[in-house]
């Protein structure tokens, strides 16, 4: 990658710290474990790491409930451990991005402890407080994404506080300029420490409607959503007022102005709104965030039509901005299971990495995608995720994608010398790093070879994109930069396909372990979950 704007076209490897590697035997991954495996990450050919929250926290939502923005939780290590991580990553040529959860804190944060104590203390207006209705019910109809009403009664103040997520995650009041400045100061703390960027969690949730207007109901046929249980009442309304408020744009500009004081850093916003693609486009306009990231490809819809329509909608609106794509993360079922219809094959695993890394934009790869890991069916008695326990059995939560990395095929996959916080199952140990390391045809080594090859293709890292008319299940598009045109075509099904594709003179490219299709006499032939890359004359 170039030294400036390294993030454009970058492949960012997401690390979920508590499931990566445990070095002290407590069954929970830690920062020293990440340091130990940075050479492995660098060997993948990625450009950066994104480390999910490791801040001091009571762990009600596993670190996304922050009690101290400027300290490492002891279960993960120390600030000195983070500094070692940063130094070693930089020595290996890896950029380091970290989560910033700005919209809410933990109920254990000192700010909230002070704010809840009375209505007239210095932090009284730092959170979203509201009086009850005359009958004692909450001030409006807003719902929590994790189920139930979004308001919690606080007897000390005789008021409700807002929580868009868990009741132990109270929302900050961003209408208060002191709150905005305090969060900018927390961002600055990590910039001064040397991080290269941030993944801004739920960044469109910072502001709420100051009038506390009710959200309108959503027709039953439209009650579908990304990232939450299908029977969650959160889907019963349009979320016009509890997030994605216009005032948020000025705060994004404040974040950007701060970050522009530091060389070569980036901000990636996670966005989930009523129209996430439109919000992404708005949030990455010049002077705001560098990149946007949404749940659009984290759905169950694995069709060429859906992927094309999603990318084209974004391209049509995001003229000046830069997208970032992901098909797996710590919040959704793993892609090979979600899109494999019960067949989490190596061919599908290889194809999915190639596909997401061929779209225009940057990419987040979630730990284990390079191994082709399927979802784990965690039994109820071992569930840790409060979201899963609430909606069991219709929705089993997020533990199935958060189980520990299998480094070996031994006990607990070499993740820990103790008892792991979530189980390491046999289907994962059989796909461990040690099992795949010496097999040139493994998913792991195919991903390594493909990512190295991708770096040599400017059309893939920074080129424009134009989709071609092909029938299901074929997805085909052309990436172009400075006159170089590269065709990428994928068969999204488990059976071979051929279709008409007239493109004139083409030269097949060797994308290691991925490209196994051919284009002859105006017909495209692709094996099951196959792909083709070719240059166009």
Residues taking part in catalysis: 201, 270
Contact 337, 375 (CB under 8 A): yes
Strand partners for 237: 217
Distance CA 497, CA 420 (A): 43
Distance CA 73, CA 26 (A): 14
List the one residue out of 495, 520, 491, 493 whose CA is nearest residue 506. Answer: 520
Q: Please confirm whether the linkage preceding 393 is cis (ω < 30° from 0).
A: yes
Contact 105, 123 (CB under 8 A): no
Residues with Cβ within 8 Å of 51's Cβ and at least 6 positions away in sequence, in order, are: 15, 17, 34, 85, 96, 97, 98, 99
Using the CB atoms, write b or e for 64-91: b if 16+ within 10 Å.
Answer: bbbbbbeebbebbbeeebbebbbebbee
List the one residue out of 306, 296, 302 whose CA is nearest residue 275. Answer: 296
Distance CA 444, CA 43 (A): 10
129-130: strand order across its sheet:
129-130, 159-162, 151-154
Q: What are phi and psi of 95, to 5 degrees?
A: -80, 155
Using the CB atoms, write b or e for 501-516: b if 16+ within 10 Å.
Answer: bebeebeeeebebbbb
The DSSP output letter for 51 is E
Residue entry with tokens 């790491």: 49
Q: What are phi and psi of 387, to 5 degrees?
A: -65, -45
List the one residue out of 30, 511, 93, 102 whose CA is nearest residue 269. Answer: 102
Contact 388, 398 (CB under 8 A): yes
Distance CA 86, CA 54 (A): 14
* List of long-range contacts for 509-516, beta carbons under 8 Å, 24+ apart: 509/533, 509/534, 509/535, 510/453, 511/354, 511/450, 511/453, 511/454, 512/446, 512/449, 512/450, 512/452, 512/453, 513/350, 513/441, 513/445, 513/446, 513/449, 513/450, 514/350, 514/351, 514/354, 514/446, 514/450
Q: Please confirm whether the linkage preceding 124 is cis (ω < 30° from 0).
A: no
Residue 217: CA atoms inside 13 Å, Cβ hemisphere, count? Answer: 3
Q: What are phi and psi of 369, to 5 degrees?
A: -60, -35
The distance from CA 224 to its chain's CA centroid, rounded to whole angstroms, is 20
Kindly state the tokens that stand for 128.
């979203």
């Amino acid at each position: 990658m170039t030294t400036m704007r390294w993030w454009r076209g970058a492949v960012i490897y997401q690390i979920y710290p508590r499931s990566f590697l445990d070095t002290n035997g407590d069954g929970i991954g830690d920062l020293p474990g990440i340091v130990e495996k940075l050479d492995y990450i660098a060997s993948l050919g990625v450009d950066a790491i994104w480390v999910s929250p490791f801040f001091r926290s009571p762990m009600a939502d596993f670190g996304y409930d922050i009690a101290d923005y400027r300290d490492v939780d002891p279960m993960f290590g120390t600030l000195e451990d983070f500094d070692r991580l940063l130094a070693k990553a930089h020595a290996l040529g890896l950029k380091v991005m970290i989560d910033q959860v700005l919209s809410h804190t933990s109920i254990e944060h000192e700010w909230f402890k002070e704010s809840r104590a009375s209505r007239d203390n210095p932090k009284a207006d730092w959170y979203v407080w509201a009086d009850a209705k005359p009958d004692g019910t909450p001030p409006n109809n807003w719902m929590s994404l994790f189920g139930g009403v979004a308001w919690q009664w606080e007897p000390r103040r005789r008021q409700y506080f807002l929580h868009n997520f868990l009741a132990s995650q109270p929302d900050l009041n961003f209408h208060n300029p002191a709150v905005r400045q305090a969060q900018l100061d927390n961002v600055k703390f990590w910039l001064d420490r040397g991080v290269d960027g941030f993944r801004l969690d739920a960044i469109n949730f910072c502001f709420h409607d100051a009038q506390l207007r009710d959200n309108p109901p959503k027709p039953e046929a439209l009650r579908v959503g990304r990232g939450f249980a299908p029977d969650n009442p959160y889907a019963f309304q349009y979320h016009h007022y509890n997030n994605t408020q216009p005032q948020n744009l000025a705060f994004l500009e404040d974040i950007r102005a701060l970050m522009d004081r530091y060389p070569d850093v980036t901000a990636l916003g996670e966005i989930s709104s009523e129209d996430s693609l439109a919000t992404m486009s708005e949030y990455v306009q010049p002077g705001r965030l560098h990149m946007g990231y949404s749940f659009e490809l984290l759905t169950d819809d694995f069709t060429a039509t859906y992927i094309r329509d999603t990318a084209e909608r974004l391209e049509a609106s995001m003229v000046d901005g830069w997208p970032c794509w992901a098909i797996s993360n710590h919040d959704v079922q793993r892609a090979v299971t979600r899109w494999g219809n019960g067949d989490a094959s190596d061919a599908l695993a290889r194809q999915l990495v190639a596909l997401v890394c061929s779209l225009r934009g940057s990419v987040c790869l979630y730990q284990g995608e390079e191994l082709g890991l399927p979802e784990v069916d965690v039994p109820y008695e071992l569930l840790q995720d409060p979201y899963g326990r609430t909606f069991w059995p219709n929705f089993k939560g997020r533990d199935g994608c958060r189980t520990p990395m299998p480094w070996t095929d031994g006990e607990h996959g070499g993740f820990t010398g103790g008892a792991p916080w979530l189980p390491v199952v046999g289907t994962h140990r059989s796909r461990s790093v040690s099992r795949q390391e010496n097999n040139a045809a493994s998913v792991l080594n195919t991903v390594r070879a493909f990512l190295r090859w991708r770096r040599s293709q400017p059309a893939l890292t920074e080129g424009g994109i134009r989709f071609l008319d092909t029938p299901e299940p074929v997805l085909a598009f052309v990436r172009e930069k400075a006159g170089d045109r590269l065709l990428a075509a994928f068969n999204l099904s488990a059976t071979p396909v051929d279709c008409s594709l007239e493109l004139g003179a083409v030269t097949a490219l060797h994308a290691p372990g991925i490209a196994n299709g051919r284009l002859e006499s105006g017909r495209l032939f692709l094996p099951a979950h196959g792909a083709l890359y070719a240059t166009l004359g």
